[in-house]
Amino acid sequence: MNLMTEIIAEIGQNFNGDIDVAIQLILEAKKSGADVAKFQLYNAKELFSREGNPWYEYNCSTELTYNNVKKLKQVCDDNDIEFMASAFDVERVDWLEDVGVQRHKLASRSIFDQDLINKVLKTNKPTFISLGMWNQEGFPEINNENAKYLYCVSKYPTELEDVKLKQVDFDKYFGFSDHTVGITASCVALSRGARIIEKHFTLDREAFGPDHICSMTPNQLLQLSTFRDELKLCL
């Protein structure tokens, strides 16, 4: 079993459009044991549908500018936590390259966007790819050693009985992108050999927004990072 395990605190939209809250989340993620603070970069009006989407205005309020990205990257650098983001278009991959990210992440919904996949992999940097929306047998035919797949169930939140981690081979999947409530599933994935845990992170699970409900709090992140560290001692 690989003992090099990392925790990605997925801040995503959970800063609710307030950069000061985004900074606070970075600091709390670092203090609670995360290795990475992660965001999402998109043109909200192009990515999100207005029709049938009760969160459309919220989605638009959480769109980050290039200057926002530079500022958040600097905050991460100053506090010794890696900055990472999922870019949802090729322009924003360039933003990430410009600020000097170490690694990339492709969200589940990007798995069929070949232009975006090619753009990211041409950076020759490690790239985590969630397969929550992959609906075919086996893995995508992406012949690139930098592509690392994350097991994921694209339900928000995911019920524990839908995770089915017993069926997941973490010699093939690099890690687990967890959308369940609580940290039980993440702890199980770590114990089964996941090398990366990605989970949404919030200051308040009852805050307004679609992702807070399946997010971990600072206390839960601390519990998860403690479990990760103690698991290494047992193996």
Q: Count H helices and E strands in the chain, helices first.
A: 8, 8
Which pLDDT value is given to residue 168? Answer: 96
Place of tokens 């970069």: 41
Is 143 a member of any domain?
yes
Is 13 a member of any domain?
yes
Is 186 a member of any domain?
yes
The CATH number of whichever domain residue 71 belongs to comes to: 3.20.20.70
Each residue's pLDDT, cut to its tens digit, for the chain (235 residues) gives: 455 799 999 999 999 999 999 999 999 999 999 999 999 999 999 999 999 999 999 999 999 999 999 999 999 999 999 999 999 999 999 999 999 999 999 999 999 999 999 999 999 999 999 999 898 888 898 989 999 999 999 888 999 999 999 999 999 999 999 999 999 999 999 999 999 999 999 999 999 999 999 999 999 999 999 999 999 999 8
Q: How far apart are CA 146 and CA 119, in angstroms?
A: 13
Is 165 a member of any domain?
yes
Q: Are 189 and 196 in contact (CB under 8 A)?
A: no
Is 168 a member of any domain?
yes
Q: How far apart are CA 50 and CA 96, in angstroms?
A: 27
Query: Which tokens hold the place of 52?
Result: 């049938």
Its pTM stands at 0.96
Is 215 a member of any domain?
yes
3-class DSSP state of 54: coil
Is 1 a member of any domain?
no
Which pLDDT value is given to residue 143? Answer: 85
Please report, for residues 40, 41, 143, 202, 218, the alpha-carbon distance to residue 205 in angstroms, rounded to integers and kept in the order given: 19, 22, 39, 6, 11
Domain span at residue 207 reads 6-234
Q: Are 118 and 138 in contact (CB under 8 A)?
A: no
Beta bridge partners of 130: 150
Which pLDDT value is given to residue 3? Answer: 56
Q: Are 37 and 11 in contact (CB under 8 A)?
A: yes
Phi, psi angle pair for 98, to nearest 5°: -65, -40
E-strand ranges in 17-174 read 36-41, 82-87, 104-106, 127-130, 147-152
Phi, psi angle pair for 216, to nearest 5°: -95, 150
Is 48 a member of any domain?
yes
How many domains does the structure of the chain reveal?
A: 1
